[in-house]
């Protein structure tokens, strides 16, 4: 007998199930009661609900529909193993074995042609995987077609070669396995229904809880079981009616629900409906009631400013989506003291895209803000050693270029560093040492040659290590060049030598690893190989971590699948790596935990589960509804049947279920604005249709229903509209707008951190080059990386050129010949090899020669010295050193063109040297060496250097607490034009800050300034306030160009 319970509430169905379980306890208390659920998350939620209803839950057996189906099959064939040759993974490897055989491939010219057109190394594995997935689906959704193939039917078109390949696969598998295993899953599925009456377990009741859309053969098996025994079906159905849909949401989103109904509306079933309607008059509840009653959504409700219980947000990025949600939840906790983090569910079609943002925003503690506990439903949990991440890095490194950043990231993984005995400070020293050795890429010359590049050791890891070893053994200040090798001493302490040896050992092992992977192996041998290398590279403690055990398990699964398939082909490294990475990605889909705080999950596992607040993120058009890619030869796509899975309709129904499951608030967001130009990006069609329905219901326009969030949390518009819980953000926004106050802006000051008592002179000078950058780095740890930041083997950046200039300048003063200087720079890797290196050196040589000539022209005594400076100022101590290119005076040289920034930073050095006594009166600056017409500037002694430095110190200290909008080039452009009396000083300042077709290097285009102020930041009067103008004016008063 089949008892069919329908409801619009999953909690109601759970309570009905609890009653049924209690009423039908088995006579034998040791016998479990079987509950079939659609997924593990539903079983976990259901256990909690049943425990709440019954007080105690024990001896319940939760099964998935496919697991229950296989239990019935194994009652007929008890000798069946857990995994069959026609399971997905063994099939994939068996097909890989077949398609790797050229003789077999000739029987399938279309596949041979496809593979010959592919250039990637694992094309065969990818094709085998695609075909295996199709064959796996055919066995479940087209078992009769598989049986026809097995009886010799070939069909037409793509079915012809697929039927031939299936028969070939079946014959090959039958040769390798015992007779009792030679039935395909399709055959077993069909036989189970016929044999069910013989194998049914008396009157055991099966409870089928909200199964969703089942394969027809599985649904038929449940139906047949209900005809023989007792089946209790508890099914969520949006509306209590068999009439045509009147409700707009059911019409738009409910097609899959109709297909489920047609599949599970069993004949002769006893049907009972248990629908509940909400008394709350919020807009969300009104719409939910209209769905459950299958009535049209009401239209033109009484005028209102916003919808209650419904939120839709448009953001610029995934990070802003999470930031916006986090702030929204803080507001809800403040408004509703009954709301608990466990009452909140957040789902997204692409969970991996949001993992980092969730960890950064929900996982960061900030003083004064309650931290919201959360749980990410990802399978591979990052443990403290991150063995899984380190293993992936090793796999990807092994046939790569071994770039500086990739290798350092691998060595810095805790499991690798601990094995090598490298502490955090040692790693930082090692990073600096390698940068000083100009490592770019390549293990050695042979490695570069393998990648079809010139066989040169310059800028490779091998060359850096060789210079370091030789520098330790033959350290000589007088003769740093031995043959063609420039010596490098990485340090004189024992720990320095040990760190160098540890790095050398890791690089040696990685070189061995990349050489050993060139030979193909069996899956078992690959598993042993990888585990041995994990022992050689990872610390002993890390090998017992969760990540290491997961790697061990997945290697075992691949070995087992290959053993079942009994493949003879040796697997290449690129193929085994692809298989491992695919496994790791599969592991990333974990289960939800409903008592650890806010649940972040992918959509399908938690469908229909009720929460007070349900939030959907990432509902942009390209990701929702999901758009699975099917091979063009997929027969199910070519000839679809009504009960096939349809991801598009499934996602539409998921959205409908989320609306019904939300107890108090339904929230959704999407990336709807371009972070580049703020251009509107359309949401998913599902969101668009949802907004249309809401607009018809409320009379509100779409722009009112959708709240468009600003680019950053620092937006004054945002802060004027809401209360922000972050004091850091409030204080930052306050300083950004202090010249144009916003009415009603609620801001409380940030308690100042303990200021540094000792201030490094160079840091003090660099701060005034870009105070915004200093603030973001100190306060938020922001460091922007772009492709341009990666070390380039052919190009020198400005900082490298400056350092090389000082080195060459010093060597020339010491009488080192041009030939020897060039040899040392090439040997060290400071200059690239070949024409690029010669060009860079020639430019350096010209600049040094021009600077020496200019120094001599003005009577300076050329030298390369460091002036020690130390002076107490405002309760602090400014200390450090200032470099000079002249003896007994401060002379700074830069090849760049003169700018306000260069002049002002040199002015600050001038003031520091004056107060500390390093110089008596004047200092000088030489610029514009590149243009061939050097300029000399003189700085004179002001009346009160200390007072001027104190003003700068106040600005510097503020830069720890708030963004200081001090832009030296912009201010200098303003004051310079003002001094000339042309009356266009503001226009010049605007051009310098915002840029123009003649000025591409505007200060507003700096990455840090853009982050803080936005892409289209405009000049404001706050940038030329008196506090900022006075230091520049003082500099101009005491500086001049010497003609």
Q: Helix, strand, coil: what percent of the chain each, to 5?
A: 50, 10, 35
Give 1020: exposed, middle or buried? Use CB within 10 Å, 0-12, 13-18, 19+. middle
- To 5 degrees, how large is the angle CA 370–CA 374–CA 380? 145
For residues 288 and 610, what is the distance between their CA atoms, to the nearest angstrom? 13
Residue 598: in which H helix or E strand, if any? strand 598-602
Token digits for 70?
């296989």
CATH class of 2-79+195-279: alpha beta
* 88-182: CATH number: 1.10.10.160
- From the list 626, 4, 618, the residue with the least C-alpha distance to 348 is 618
E-only strand ranges, 701-836: 706-708, 758-760
Give the pLDDT band (50/70/90) at residue 742: very low
The answer on pLDDT for 752 being more than 50 is no
Query: CA dihedral defined by 513, 519, 524, 527, rounded to 10 degrees?
Result: 20
Q: Which of 24-28, 415-419, 781-785 has the lowest mean pLDDT?
A: 781-785
For residues 607 and 807, what is the distance between their CA atoms, to the nearest angstrom? 65
Give the pLDDT band (50/70/90) at residue 46: very high
Q: What is the pLDDT of residue 811?
A: 76
- Radius of gyration (C-alpha) of the chain in whole angstroms: 36
The torsion region of residue 711 among left (phi > 0), alpha (psi -120 to 50) and beta comes to: alpha
What topology is assigned to 310-379+590-707 in CATH? Rossmann fold (3.40.50)
List the beta bridge partners of residue 668: 312, 616
Q: What is the pLDDT of residue 483?
A: 67
* 758-1042: CATH number: 3.90.320
- From the list 775, 718, 768, the residue with the least C-alpha distance to 744 is 718
Give 173: exposed, middle or buried? Use CB within 10 Å, 0-12, 13-18, 19+. buried
What b-and-e string marks burial along 276-306, b requiring 16 or more CB atoms within 10 Å of the CB? eeeeeeebbbbbbbbbbbbeebeeeeeeeee
For residues 505 and 469, what is the distance between their CA atoms, to the nearest angstrom? 13
Alpha helices, DSSP H, located in 345-397? 351-362, 387-397
Comparing 290 with 628, the larger pLDDT belongs to 290
Token digits for 63?
């099964």
pLDDT tens across 683-732, in order?
A: 999 999 999 999 999 999 999 999 999 887 765 554 444 555 555 555 54
For residues 56 and 23, what is the distance between their CA atoms, to the nearest angstrom? 15
- Using DSSP's 3-state secondary structure scheme, residue 603 falls into coil
In Å, how far are 248, 686, 691 from 702, measured between CA atoms?
17, 14, 6
Give 652: exposed, middle or buried? Use CB within 10 Å, 0-12, 13-18, 19+. buried
Give the pLDDT band (50/70/90) at residue 941: very high
- From the list 672, 659, 759, the residue with the least C-alpha distance to 324 is 672
Q: What is the pLDDT of residue 881?
A: 92
For residues 603 and 227, what is the distance between their CA atoms, to the nearest angstrom? 34
Residue 192: in which H helix or E strand, if any? helix 185-199
Token digits for 494?
């024992």
pLDDT tens across 414-458, in order?
A: 999 999 999 998 998 999 889 888 888 999 999 999 999 989 888
Q: What is the mean pLDDT of the chain?
A: 86
Q: What is the pLDDT of residue 655?
A: 94
Q: How many CA atoms lie within 13 A of 639 on its CB side?
A: 10
pLDDT average, residue stretch 386-402: 94
Token digits for 305?
């400013």
Residue 595 gets which letter from DSSP?
T
pTM: 0.76
pLDDT average, residue stretch 634-645: 88
Token digits for 608?
């229909």
**Edge-to-edge order in the sheet of strand 1039-1042:** 890-893, 923-927, 935-939, 1039-1042
pLDDT tens across 883-920, in order?
A: 998 888 999 988 888 999 999 999 999 999 999 999 99
347 contacts 325 by C-beta, under 8 angstroms: no
Strand pairing category for 2-7 and 230-236: parallel
Which residues are within 8 A (CB) of 736 and not within 5 positions of it... i.e. 6 or more apart? 714, 716, 963, 965, 1012, 1013
3-state secondary structure 996-1027: ECCECCCHHHCHHHHHHHCCCCCCCHHHHCHH
pLDDT average, residue stretch 641-655: 87
Q: Examine domains 2-79+195-279 and 310-379+590-707 and report if their fold is the same.
A: yes
Other beta carbons within 10 angstroms of residue 753's beta carbon come to 10
Token digits for 602?
């992918």
pLDDT average, residue stretch 484-504: 84
For residues 687 and 241, what is the distance between their CA atoms, to the nearest angstrom? 26
pLDDT tens across 788-808, in order?
A: 444 555 555 666 676 677 777
Residue 714 gets which letter from DSSP?
T
Task: Report CA torsion sign: 913, 917, 923, 928.
Answer: negative
496 contacts 415 by C-beta, under 8 angstroms: no
Domain ranges of the chain: 2-79+195-279, 88-182, 310-379+590-707, 400-516, 520-587, 758-1042
For residues 747 and 578, what is the distance between their CA atoms, to the nearest angstrom? 52
pLDDT average, residue stretch 474-500: 75
What topology is assigned to 400-516 in CATH? PCRA; domain 4 (1.10.486)
Token digits for 341?
């983090």
List the beta bridge partners of residue 375: 599
553 contacts 602 by C-beta, under 8 angstroms: no
Token digits for 834?
């070949």
Strand pairing category for 935-939 and 1039-1042: antiparallel
């Amino acid at each position: 007998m089949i008892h069919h319970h329908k409801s619009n509430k999953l909690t109601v169905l759970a309570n009905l199930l609890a009653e049924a379980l209690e009423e039908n306890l088995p006579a034998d208390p040791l016998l479990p009661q079987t509950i079939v659920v659609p997924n593990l998350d539903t079983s976990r939620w259901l256990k909690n609900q049943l425990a709440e209803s019954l007080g105690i839950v024990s001896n319940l057996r939760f099964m998935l529909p496919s697991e229950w189906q296989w239990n019935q099959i194994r009652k007929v064939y008890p000798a069946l193993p857990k995994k069959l040759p026609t399971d997905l993974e063994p099939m994939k490897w068996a097909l890989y074995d077949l398609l790797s055989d050229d003789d077999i491939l000739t029987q399938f010219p279309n596949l041979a042609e496809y593979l010959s057109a592919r250039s990637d190394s694992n094309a065969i594995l990818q094709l085998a995987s695609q075909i295996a997935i199709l064959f796996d689906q055919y066995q479940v959704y087209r078992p009769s077609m598989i049986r026809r193939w097995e009886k010799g039917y070939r069909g037409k078109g793509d079915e012809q070669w697929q039927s031939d390949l299936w028969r070939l696969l079946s014959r090959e598998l039958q040769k390798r396995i015992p007779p009792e295993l030679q039935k395909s899953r399709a055959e077993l599925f069909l036989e189970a229904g016929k044999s069910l009456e013989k194998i049914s377990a008396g009157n055991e009741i099966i409870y089928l809880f909200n199964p969703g859309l089942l394969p027809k053969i599985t649904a038929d098996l449940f139906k047949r079981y209900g005809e023989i025994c007792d089946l209790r079906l508890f099914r969520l159905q949006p509306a209590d009616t068999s009439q045509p849909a009147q409700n707009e949401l059911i019409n738009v989103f409910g097609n899959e629900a109709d297909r489920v109904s047609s599949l599970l509306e069993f004949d002769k079933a006893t049907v009972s409906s248990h629908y509940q309607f909400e008394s709350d008059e919020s807009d969300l509840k009104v719409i939910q009631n209209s769905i459950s009653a299958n009535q049209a959504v009401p239209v033109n409700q009484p005028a209102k400013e916003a919808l209650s219980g419904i939120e839709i947000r448009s953001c610029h990025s995934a990070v802003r989506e999470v930031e916006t949600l986090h702030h929204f939840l803080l507001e809800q906790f403040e408004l509703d003291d009954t709301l608990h983090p466990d009452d909140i569910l957040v789902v997204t079609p692409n969970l991996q895209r949001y993992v980092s943002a969730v960890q950064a925003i929900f996982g960061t503690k900030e003083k004064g803000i309650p931290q919201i506990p959360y749980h990410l439903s990802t399978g591979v949990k990052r443990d403290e050693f991150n063995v899984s991440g380190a293993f992936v890095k090793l796999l990807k490194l092994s046939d790569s270029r071994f770039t500086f950043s990739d290798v350092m990231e691998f060595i810095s993984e805790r499991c690798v560093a601990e094995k090598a005995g490298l502490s955090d400070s040692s790693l930082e020293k090692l990073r600096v040492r390698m940068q000083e050795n100009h490592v770019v890429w390549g293990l050695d010359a042979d490695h570069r040659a393998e990648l079809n590049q010139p066989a040169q050791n310059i800028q490779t890891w091998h060359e850096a290590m060789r210079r370091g070893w030789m520098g330790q053994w033959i350290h000589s200040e007088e003769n740093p060049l031995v043959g063609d090798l420039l010596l490098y001493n990485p340090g004189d302490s024992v720990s320095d030598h040990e760190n160098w040896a540890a790095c050398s050992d890791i690089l040696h092992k990685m070189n061995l690893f990349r050489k050993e992977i060139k030979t193909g192996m069996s899956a078992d041998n690959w598993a042993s190989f990888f585990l041995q290398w994990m022992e050689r590279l990872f610390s002993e403690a890390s090998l017992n971590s969760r990540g290491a055990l997961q790697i061990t398990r997945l290697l075992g699964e691949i070995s087992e699948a290959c053993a079942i398939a009994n493949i003879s082909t040796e697997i290449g490294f690129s193929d085994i790596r692809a298989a491992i990475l695919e496994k790791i990605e599969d592991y990333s889909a974990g289960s939800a935990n409903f008592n650890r705080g806010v649940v972040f999950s992918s959509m399908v596992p938690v469908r229909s589960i009720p929460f007070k607040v349900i939030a959907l993120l990432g509902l942009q058009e390209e990701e929702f509804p999901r758009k699975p890619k099917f091979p063009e030869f997929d027969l199910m796509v070519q000839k679809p049947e009504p009960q096939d899975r349809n991801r598009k309709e499934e996602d539409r129904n998921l959205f409908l279920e989320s609306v019904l499951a939300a107890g108090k608030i339904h929230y959704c967001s999407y990336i709807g604005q371009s972070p580049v130009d703020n251009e509107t990006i359309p949401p998913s069609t599902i969101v668009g249709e949802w907004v249309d329905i809401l607009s018809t219901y409320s009379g509100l326009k779409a722009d009112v229903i959708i709240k468009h969030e600003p680019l950053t949390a620092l937006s004054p518009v945002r802060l004027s509209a809401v209360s922000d819980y972050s004091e850091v953000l409030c204080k930052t926004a306050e300083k950004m707008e202090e010249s144009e106050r916003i009415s009603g802006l609620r801001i409380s000051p940030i308690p100042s951190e303990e200021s540094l008592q000792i201030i490094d002179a160079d840091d003090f000078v660099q701060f005034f080059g870009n105070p915004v950058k200093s603030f973001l780095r100190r306060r938020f740890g922001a460091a922007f990386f772009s492709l341009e930041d990666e070390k380039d083997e052919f190009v020198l950046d400005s900082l490298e050129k400056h350092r090389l200039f000082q080195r060459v300048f010093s060597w020339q003063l010491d009488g080192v010949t041009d030939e020897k200087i060039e040899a040392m720079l090439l040997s060290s890797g400071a200059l690239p090899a070949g024409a690029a290196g010669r060009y860079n050196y020639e430019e350096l040589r010209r600049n040094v020669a021009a600077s020496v000539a200019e120094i001599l022209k003005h009577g300076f005594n050329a030298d390369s010295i460091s002036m020690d400076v130390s002076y107490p100022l405002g309760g602090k101590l400014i200390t450090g050193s200032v470099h000079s290119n002249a003896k007994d005076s401060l002379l700074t040289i830069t090849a760049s063109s003169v700018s306000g920034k260069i002049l002002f930073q040199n002015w600050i050095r001038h003031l520091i040297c004056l107060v500390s006594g390093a110089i008596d009166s004047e200092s000088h600056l030489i610029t514009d060496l590149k243009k061939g017409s050097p300029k000399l500037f003189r700085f004179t002694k002001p009346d009160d250097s200390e007072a001027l430095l104190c003003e700068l110190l106040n600005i510097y200290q503020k830069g720890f607490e708030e963004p200081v909008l001090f832009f030296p080039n912009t201010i200098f452009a303003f004051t310079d034009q003002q001094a000339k009396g042309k009356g266009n000083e503001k226009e010049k300042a605007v051009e310098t800050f915002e840029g123009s077709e003649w000025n591409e290097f505007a200060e507003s285009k700096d990455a840090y300034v853009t982050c803080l102020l936005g892409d289209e930041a405009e000049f404001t009067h706050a940038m030329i306030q008196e506090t900022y103008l006075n230091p520049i004016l003082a500099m101009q008063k005491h500086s001049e160009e010497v003609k």
